[in-house]
A and B are shown apart, each in its own frame.
Chain A
């Protein structure tokens, strides 16, 4: 067993090449769940490949990451919510979670005596949370920027939730501060979904930590508190978000990363995405060779990839002329038909289609007939 794990590690190291592995964060872990069927992404993430550098070497650079303005805005809102010993947040928690008046204890874990090193902060987070769970009295309510750790693909990843609140009905709650606004009780669905999955990552990491301390996972609530600006003001408002579904998805994805060996076995042994960086970080590997290696690993492109994957432009280019490039719904409808060209020929009846394409062909011909009837002679 040990050997198998070592083999896989060595295999992934070879795929990544000489560069140091990229670290995950809550955003990248959340992105793992957006396209679970993509083998290319799974392999690259497991090996810790720098996808951004790889994509730009192949001629498909992406501008990924948050804009400076978004980061600035997010930080300003978070500072506001946490000002004066989390004064605004306390009001929200008292309103929404019936936090009692004496529970106002606040611990800042941003640094430990001026030391911002991750290991020190993680150790301090552990110590404080352990104290909070063991003591009968109130030994901590709000923990600002705790540092948690989660094992992803066999490597520890440090995660920093905005805040953890404790002793609300004797459970830990993850609080996530986001700067997108909730207008008239409604927020952008995609953003809420992204926040939910990120918070689920934190819930999971917190459960891991408490499990190490010998506590049951139930001590972390599976609802998270989402704090957002209300309407067009800067006034914060809070909502409870159920992340049970996201937790299941994440657990499955992370388990899949652990089972990456089955995927890796299908690949040619000499495969590598090494860019052959020199000491100045400039890649020297021939583009053609690299591209053909990348193409060996099948991708599953969908337009949604554009929002979450650094390889998206490369995969989109590769998927041109495929039904998948038109979106997941189209691909699912057309089942066995992969090429747009074939779809058109099936529709106009110039191609009979194989047996497994019969159903799709019938639908396509019906659609073509309806279209010509609707448009009459105009089409």
Chain B
């Protein structure tokens, strides 16, 4: 426990908030186990008296270890999981919804707000030190970071470009990905079906009600609409991607160029 406390302190001083949060979660877990162990020691003589009061806890116990282990996964790992499933740049709210539907544990979307900046700082301090970075999607016209969207650095550049048609294309891509994932699961979480319904309601001929909705019909409807937009969108994206590769340096390719960014770079230089 002492070592963990020291780790938390170091992480806080070093300004690595995500690491500090992980360590604090670990510390809380260890402290709780320590408390429980102490309580068990103390309880032994009067176990009979407590039996009634503690009865509900065994039934609640089985679901908890899984939830706990997911919470111990760093936030960036959780976001990476969700984004990989979606296969397209997404807003924090969507990432949190996908995570809640398919993975254990809760991801609070407000925790993602500073993520991109933290990742950028980490990249600028030691470029390519991590296997992947959570980075920005870039607007097709100005190559500036698109507002409120997260992407993964290992994706090809054109997938991270947001042209005028891309929000819809990414929406449909995500709908297909969620539908396919649902088809793979035998016993999906109700949250997962609700998530798919949120997509299906806004795609023509995808489903008439949440009860009658089937993932393959939703996926096909989304593919049908996607086919309409695909060519125009990928033309925008490829053009902008090649422009980005030739004009931007490594950091700007990941995190976008713009007035705000260049000012930040000046002040840090």
Interface residues of A (CB under 8 A from B): 79, 83-88, 90-91, 94, 101-102, 104-108, 110-115, 140
Q: Do residues B93 and A114 form an inter-chain contact, with CB atoms below 8 A?
A: no
- The one of B165, B201, B259 in contact with A113, judged by C-beta atoms closer than 8 angstroms, is B259
Cα–Cα distance between A308 and B18 once the two chains are bound (Å): 48
Provide the B251-267 mask, 1 if CB < 8 A to any CB of A, else 0: 00000011111000000
20 A–B contacts from the bound complex (CB under 8 Å): A84-B167, A84-B174, A84-B202, A85-B167, A85-B171, A87-B168, A87-B199, A87-B202, A91-B201, A104-B167, A106-B164, A110-B147, A113-B142, A113-B144, A113-B257, A114-B144, A114-B259, A114-B260, A115-B258, A115-B259
Cα–Cα distance between A45 and B258 once the two chains are bound (Å): 39
Q: How many inter-chain residue pairs (CB < 8 Å) link A and B? A: 67
Q: Do residues B228 and A106 form an inter-chain contact, with CB atoms below 8 A?
A: no
Cα–Cα distance between A232 and B30 once the two chains are bound (Å): 45
A234 to chain B, nearest CB (A): 11
Cβ of B94 < 8 Å from any Cβ of A?
A: yes
- Contact A105/B164 with A83-B91, A110-B147 known, Cβ cut-off 8 Å: yes
Chain B contacts with A in 146-174, Cβ cutoff 8 A? 146-147, 164-168, 170-171, 174
Q: Which residues of chain B come closer than 8 Å to A86, judged between CB atoms?
A: 167
B156 to chain A, nearest CB (A): 20
Cβ of B145 < 8 Å from any Cβ of A?
A: yes
Given A84-B174, A106-B164, A106-B165, 6 other A-B contacts at CB below 8 A?
A: A84-B167, A87-B168, A102-B228, A104-B167, A113-B259, A114-B260
B255 to chain A, nearest CB (A): 11
- Contact A140/B164 with A112-B142, A113-B258, A114-B260 known, Cβ cut-off 8 Å: yes
Chain B contacts with A in 213-269, Cβ cutoff 8 A? 225, 228-229, 232, 257-261
Identity of the chain B residue whose Cβ is nearest the Cβ of A95 in the assembled complex: B204
Q: Which residues of chain A come closer than 8 Å to B78, judged between CB atoms?
A: none
Cα–Cα distance between A167 and B87 once the two chains are bound (Å): 31
Interface residues of B (CB under 8 A from A): 91, 93-94, 139, 142, 144-147, 164-168, 170-171, 174, 199, 201-202, 204, 225, 228-229, 232, 257-261
Q: Which residues of chain A come closer than 8 Å to B225, judged between CB atoms?
A: 101
Identity of the chain B residue whose Cβ is nearest the Cβ of A89 in the assembled complex: B202
Cα–Cα distance between A200 and B170 once the two chains are bound (Å): 34
Cα–Cα distance between A316 and B40 once the two chains are bound (Å): 72
Q: Do residues A104 and B259 form an inter-chain contact, with CB atoms below 8 A?
A: no
Q: Do residues B139 and A113 form an inter-chain contact, with CB atoms below 8 A?
A: yes
Q: Do residues A90 and B168 form an inter-chain contact, with CB atoms below 8 A?
A: yes
B232 to chain A, nearest CB (A): 8
Cα–Cα distance between A107 and B225 once the two chains are bound (Å): 20
Cα–Cα distance between A102 and B226 once the two chains are bound (Å): 9
Cα–Cα distance between A140 and B204 once the two chains are bound (Å): 21
Q: Do residues A104 and B165 form an inter-chain contact, with CB atoms below 8 A?
A: yes
Identity of the chain B residue whose Cβ is nearest the Cβ of A88 in the assembled complex: B202
Q: Do residues A114 and B145 form an inter-chain contact, with CB atoms below 8 A?
A: yes
Q: Do residues B202 and A106 form an inter-chain contact, with CB atoms below 8 A?
A: no
B228 to chain A, nearest CB (A): 5
A160 to chain B, nearest CB (A): 15
Q: Do residues A102 and B229 form an inter-chain contact, with CB atoms below 8 A?
A: yes
Q: Do residues B171 and A84 form an inter-chain contact, with CB atoms below 8 A?
A: yes
Identity of the chain B residue whose Cβ is nearest the Cβ of A100 in the assembled complex: B228
Which of B94, B167, B170, B229 neighbours the largest number of chain A CB atoms within 10 Å of its CB?
A: B167
A119 to chain B, nearest CB (A): 14
Q: Do residues B94 and A83 form an inter-chain contact, with CB atoms below 8 A?
A: yes
B119 to chain A, nearest CB (A): 17
Identity of the chain A residue whose Cβ is nearest the Cβ of B163 in the assembled complex: A105
Q: Which residues of chain B come closer than 8 Å to A105, judged between CB atoms?
A: 164-165
Which of B91, B93, B146, B171 neighbours the largest number of chain A CB atoms within 10 Å of its CB?
A: B171
- Contact A107/B260 with A83-B93, A85-B171, A101-B225 known, Cβ cut-off 8 Å: no
Cα–Cα distance between A79 and B146 once the two chains are bound (Å): 16
Cα–Cα distance between A107 and B162 once the two chains are bound (Å): 10
A120 to chain B, nearest CB (A): 9
B204 to chain A, nearest CB (A): 7
- Contact A114/B261 with A83-B94, A102-B228 known, Cβ cut-off 8 Å: yes
Q: Do residues A115 and B167 form an inter-chain contact, with CB atoms below 8 A?
A: no
Q: Which residues of chain B come closer than 8 Å to A108, judged between CB atoms?
A: 146-147
Which of A88, A91, A114, A140 neighbours the largest number of chain B CB atoms within 10 Å of its CB?
A: A114
Cα–Cα distance between A137 and B207 once the two chains are bound (Å): 31
B253 to chain A, nearest CB (A): 15
